Amino acid sequence: MAGTITALEIQKRNKERVNVYLDNEFALAVTVMAAASLRKGQFLNDGAINQLKAADDRAKAYDRAVRFLGFRPRSQNEVERYLQEKGYTPEVCVEVVNRLIEQKYLDDAEFVRFWLENREQFKPRGERALRYELRQKGIADSLIDAAVGEVNESDLAWAAVERKLYSWKNLPEPELKKKLAGFLSRRGFNYETVNEIMQRAKNSLNLSGTDTSFREE
C-alpha cells in the first residue's frame, strides 16, 4: 500500500475532496484541508496512509452528523446512534459527538427544552409519555426530572382535547367520557388529570350529568 504520490486531483463532483494517487494508481481520497499537507513526490508509508484514512473517516462522520442536525435538534445519544448505524466505529462516533458538544451544536438541556416546547405546541403529551420519549432519546434522568417537573399537565391535557370537543359535543355523556378517557390516557396523562379535564369539558359543554369521573381499570 505504501508508495509515492504521483498525482493529487480535485474530484469533479465534490470540489472539497482530493483523490490521491500512489505510483500512478488511485489509493485514497481526502479532504482539501488534508491534501494541503501532501505533495507530488512525497512518500507515504502504511502508517501515514492509515492516519489519513482515519482522519478522513472522522471528517466524513462529522459532515454526516452536521447534516443530520440540519433537520431538527438532536440529543447526543441520537447522533451517536445515527453514526453507529452508518458504520462508524464507536471511537469515531464519540469523538464526533464530543466535537459537536464543544462547538455548541449538541446540548441535551437545550434539546429537552426544544422537545417539550414542540410537544406543547403540536402534540401535547402527559408527563408519563414525555418521560418515556426523552428516555428513548438517551436523555439523563436528572435533565428529564428538572424539565418535566415544570410541566403543567392539566394545561397540556386541555390543549390536547380542546380542539376535539367541538366534534364530540353531541355525543351522549357516557360515550364522551369514554372518548376523553381513552384519548388522554393514550397520550400519557394520569387519571387525576383525566378526571379534571372531564369536569372542565363538562363545564365547557354545559353537560347536566353529575358523574364525570374516570376510574382506572
Higher-confidence residue: 211 or 143? Answer: 143
DSSP class of residue 140? -
Q: Give the tens place of pLDDT for each residue, 28-77.
A: 999 998 999 999 999 999 999 999 999 999 999 999 999 999 999 999 99
Residue 187 cell numbers, joined: 397520550
Using DSSP's 3-state secondary structure scheme, residue 3 falls into strand
Q: Give the tens place of pLDDT for each residue, 67-103.
A: 999 999 999 999 999 999 999 999 999 999 999 999 9
CA neighbours closer than 13 Å in the CB half-sphere of residue 180: 33
Q: Are 128 and 147 in contact (CB under 8 A)?
A: no
Please state the pTM of the whole predicted model: 0.76
- What residues does 3 pair with on adjacent strands? 44
Torsion of CA 27, 32, 34, 40, to 10 degrees: 60
Which residue, 195, 192, 197, is CA-closest to 159?
A: 197
Residue 98 cell numbers, joined: 464530543
Q: Which amino acid is at 135?
A: R
Q: Give the tens place of pLDDT for each residue, 128-164.
A: 999 999 999 999 999 999 998 888 889 899 988 887 8
Continuous segment of H or E residues that includes residue 70: none
DSSP class of residue 123? S
Residue 176 has pLDDT above 80, yes or no: yes
The pLDDT score that the predictor gives to residue 201 is: 84
142 to 80, 122, 137, 146: CA distances (angstroms): 20, 25, 14, 6
